[in-house]
Structure formats: structure tokens, C-alpha cells
């Protein structure tokens, strides 16, 4: 019986160590992206950006589609951090959000998004243009 208990404790310690090493290997990077959005009911967006991760720069493609009340056009420039990635490709994926907003001229933007790989974008920046929206939208990032 003592051998079984010792084995359980050993397996638990090993699982804890593996989890700690796995969490420790996740890192942060910085990102800057430019998104141009336009639409009337159905909207589309596209753009580009750069991920800086572990001393290297990775060019990004940005795309997206929204459905709902969208009218107008805008350009948004965002900068911030990418958290919880182990490799540059972890930033690739779809980041979904729903929301409402309006911009006339310049407006500040702050957003936190997560993708299916667990990457977390914490972004802030500025939006220029005339756009009104009440929509569901998805932002897709991919390495070029």
C-alpha cells in the first residue's frame, strides 16, 4: 500500500513539473497592425502588420468579415502585446468579437482578443474615418 501511495505522489509531482515547464516556455511578443474596414450591412477588412517575437520580425496578413449593421469606412492602427505564445505561428488564427461602436474622425481603440491557440492580443491604438457598427466580426491573422 505504501508503494502505491508513493507512486501516486511521484506521478503528481511529475505532472506538476511538466505543467510548470510548459507554462514557463510560453513567451510574449509585440505586435503592430493596420486594419482597413468598409461596409454596408456586410463589411470586410484587410490589412497588414508585424509580430516581433524572440528578436525576430514576422510579417502578418490581416483579414476579416463582419455581419450586422455596418456603414462607412475606417482605418485602425493598433499596437500592443501578444501573450501566451510558444512560437510565432501561435499568433495565426481567428479572433472573434461582437460589439457596437461609432467613429467620426479620430477615436481611441482598446481591445483584448484570444484565438484558438491561446494567444492573447492586448492592443490599443487609433481609428480614423466615419463608421457606425453593431456587428459580429472576426479578425484573422496569419504569418506571410
Q: What DSSP state is assigned to residue 91?
A: G
Say if residues 58 and 50 touch (Cβ distance below 8 Å).
yes
Could you give the 3-state DSSP secondary structure of residue 23? helix
Is 8 part of any domain? no
Q: Which residues contact 40 (CB under 8 A, 6 or more apart)?
A: 70, 71
Is 22 part of any domain? no
> What pTM does this model have?
0.70
Is 19 part of any domain? no
Is 11 part of any domain? no
The pLDDT tens digits of the residues spanning 56-111 come to 999 999 987 666 666 778 888 889 999 999 999 999 999 866 444 444 555 656 77
Measured torsion, CA atoms of residues 35, 38, 44, 49, in degrees rounded to the nearest 10: -10
Amino acid at each position: 500500500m505504501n508503494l502505491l501511495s508513493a507512486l501516486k505522489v511521484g506521478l503528481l509531482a511529475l505532472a506538476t513539473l511538466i505543467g510548470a515547464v510548459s507554462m514557463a516556455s510560453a513567451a510574449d511578443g509585440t505586435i503592430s497592425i493596420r486594419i482597413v474596414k468598409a461596409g454596408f450591412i456586410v463589411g470586410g477588412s484587410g490589412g497588414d502588420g508585424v509580430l516581433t517575437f524572440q528578436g525576430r520580425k514576422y510579417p502578418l496578413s490581416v483579414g476579416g468579415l463582419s455581419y450586422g449593421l455596418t456603414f462607412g469606412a475606417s482605418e485602425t492602427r493598433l499596437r500592443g502585446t501578444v501573450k501566451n505564445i510558444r512560437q510565432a505561428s501561435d499568433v495565426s488564427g481567428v479572433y472573434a468579437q461582437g460589439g457596437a461602436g461609432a467613429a467620426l474622425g479620430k477615436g481611441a481603440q482598446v481591445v483584448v482578443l484570444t484565438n484558438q491557440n491561446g494567444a492573447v492580443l492586448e492592443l490599443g491604438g487609433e481609428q480614423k474615418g466615419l463608421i457606425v457598427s453593431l456587428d459580429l466580426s472576426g479578425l484573422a491573422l496569419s504569418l506571410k
